[in-house]
Amino acid sequence: MSLVAEHMSRDLLVVDSASTIGAAAREMASRNVGTVLVVDDGRLVGILTERDVLRAVAGGWDENEPVSARMTPNPETAESEDTTDHAATLMIHGGFRHLPIVDGQDIVGILSIRDLVRVALADAAPRGA
């Protein structure tokens, strides 16, 4: 069985809750990522996704609004030693595409639906190959 630690990204985009949504969105775009982990005093307090940014824009956003106003507070997490099956179950039942990965209180990575698709297709060959 595949473990989350084998497939998660360790290159994290992290901001604090007082950061502006505009700055977070620009950083997401420049790094080509769909998620920002929101950390205060070394503790995960929220997650801001591209979906949250889209909702902010559609609602007539103020780019100087703090991330805390649009983030999902206290997001679900998984441990790095959890299985990818467990992580997939959390994500499907929770309706989200990004899952912060922790070891105890330490944030160590993030797992995306794209990562899980790669796991699922690892043994599949493309047509004609």
Whether 15 maps to a domain, the answer reads: yes
pLDDT at 122: 79
Among the listed residues 99, 97, 95, the one whose alpha carbon sits nearest the alpha carbon of residue 76: 99
Domain that includes residue 60, residue range: 4-121
Q: What is the CATH number of the domain that holds 43?
A: 3.10.580.10
Give the number of domains in the chain: 1
Say what the pTM is: 0.89
For residue 111, is it within any domain? yes
- Whole-number pLDDT of residue 1: 75
Question: Do residues 17 and 68 make contact, with C-beta atoms less than 8 angstroms apart?
Answer: yes
| Domain presence at residue 129 | no
Low-confidence ranges of the chain (pLDDT < 70): 123, 125-129
E strands of the chain, at which residues? 14-15, 35-40, 43-49, 72-73, 78-79, 98-103, 106-112
In a domain, 128, yes or no: no
Is 113 part of a structural domain of the chain?
A: yes
DSSP-based helix, strand, coil % in the chain, nearest 5:
35, 30, 35
In a domain, 88, yes or no: yes
pLDDT, tens only, 18-48? 999 999 999 999 999 999 999 999 999 999 9
Tell whether 116 is covered by a domain: yes
Residue 67 lies in a domain: yes
